[in-house]
A and B are shown apart, each in its own frame.
Chain A
Amino acid sequence: MSHNGSKPTEKPKFAMYWASSCGGCEIAVLNIGPKILDVDAAFDVVFWPVAMDAKYKDVEAMDDGSILLTLFNGGIRNDENERLANLLRRKSQILVAFGSCAIEGCIPGLANFSSQDQIFDAVYASVSTDNAGGIRPKTHTTVPEGILHIPEFYPVLKTLDQVVDVDYYMPGCPPESHQIATVIDLVLAVLEGKAELPPKGAVIGAGDSTCCDECPRQRNVKKITKFVRIHEMDAIDPDLCLLEQGILCNGMATRSGCGALCPQHNAPCIGCYGPAEGVVDYGARIMSALASVIDSRDPDEIERILDGIPDPAGSFYRFNLAHSLLRTGKVG
């Protein structure tokens, strides 16, 4: 896609926004090193609340479609997030769901296991909170100077594509910096007319296989008789598949792209690159795979082996709950 601005000398515009997220995606972008200077040279950064001062009204004043590329990270937790998603969709030619939160809910999406009341109870009424007055957030509060507004907290966390049309998906928690650099290079090449954009809806900055395919550990026929957690192990074989050692590793359902970083450091894949190509429900894929390799035909023994996974729902849907079949934030 070429930039169709009225002034040919004007640089294309770039924006990045964080909705319900931790800020790790922004750090990952800055972590691309000197390439960030290429971004600055090629783009006019018009809106990036983490990096520079900007007001929502400045974005509202821009022409529709005037921002070439927006990287949107974070899930849609409240009406402010949703308003910005709609605003940036309108102003952007290319809107990228950037990182796990925007794509599938990620850790903030785990709140979809709980109701709004349960969440508020945990935050405002648990032992860790000093809130003698039992104050709960209200969207409108009247003070002598006028009415104060805070965003409305939604009952469920929604993903970006559950509220607006998304052009591309860039997975990861956060996306790996070398993948971000590759995508930036691609966009720059497109601007110079040397490359074409991938088809709309594509997953960019990741592979189309699984984490296991990138993992250098040795894999054999799996026969699992016991699940263990890392801290329960005396030593981890550095060369053998973690799952074969009884460690719950989600690599087989997870999209490739990170280079199997965690398994290479004796930590199991927890699934931050999201579902692999063709997976409808991430947790279901893990259940399917794990149950296939448990080495027992006896219901009691199977139950005993499964006791080694204390929180199956949380372990299988750590990143994907808001996009899962049972707890999707989709409002129909």
Chain B
Amino acid sequence: MSEQFEPVIIGFTCNWCSYRAADMAGTARIKYPPNVRLVRLMCSGRLDPTFVLKALSNGADGVLITGCHPGECHYLEQNYKALRRYHLLRRTLIGFGIEPERVKLVWASAAEGVQLAKQIAGFVDEIRALGPLAWSMPSKQQLVAEPSVMEEVPA
């Protein structure tokens, strides 16, 4: 087996849609790469940008944000909040020299297990192509106190 770079990806999923979609993928025995570690939120609107920055600073190579399709938020319109945070976050990451493609927003309803699994697989490939998150300056090792925290999280 070749030593392929296996990215660590943190996925923030909404309790009402994408978390159930991931669940459904599991029930239907649809496979998706184990690189993604899902964290359940009650809503994508709960996603504080701090979570994304913390994941990236603690060793994640990419962050996946998933929520209900526009117009279908369980809490009416909080997924639009997530959408705006996502756009602002990507712009800010550019200022830090971090590729904005490392953060991705995906809409997935509770019925879309197949689609979510496909999106996850695609995102893992994209991050694998980007390579490990390497700061443009100084090295990550110089900056991050606990670089390997995420490795202990079971897949």
Contacts and interface: CB of A to CB of B under 8 A. Distances in A.
A198 to B, nearest CB: 26
B95 A302 contact: no
Given A302-B87, A332-B146, A156 B95 contact: no
Interface in B59-74: 70
Q: Which 10 A/B pairs are nearest by Cβ-Cβ distance?
A: A313-B95, A115-B137, A332-B145, A291-B84, A284-B50, A284-B49, A291-B85, A325-B53, A325-B57, A287-B49
Contacts, number: 108
A288 B80 CA distance: 12
A309 B56 CA distance: 23
B98 A326 contact: yes
Contacts of A35: none
Contacts of B48: 284, 288
A285 B48 CA distance: 8
Nearest to B81: A292
Given A302-B83, A331-B142, A283 B92 contact: yes
Contacts of A311: 95
B38 interface: no
B143 A329 contact: yes
28 contacts: A113-B96, A113-B97, A115-B138, A156-B138, A280-B54, A281-B53, A283-B92, A284-B50, A284-B53, A287-B49, A288-B49, A291-B84, A291-B85, A291-B87, A292-B81, A297-B70, A297-B77, A297-B80, A299-B83, A302-B87, A306-B91, A309-B91, A312-B88, A312-B92, A313-B93, A314-B95, A332-B144, A332-B147
Contacts of B4: none
Given A297-B77, A314-B95, A326-B96, A118 B147 contact: no
A293 B89 CA distance: 15
B2 interface: no
Interface of A: 113-116, 118, 155-156, 280-281, 283-285, 287-288, 290-292, 294, 296-297, 299, 302-303, 306, 309, 311-314, 316, 324-332
Chain B interface SS verdict (over half): helix
Interface string B104-147: 00000000000000000000000000000000111001111111
A300 to B, nearest CB: 10
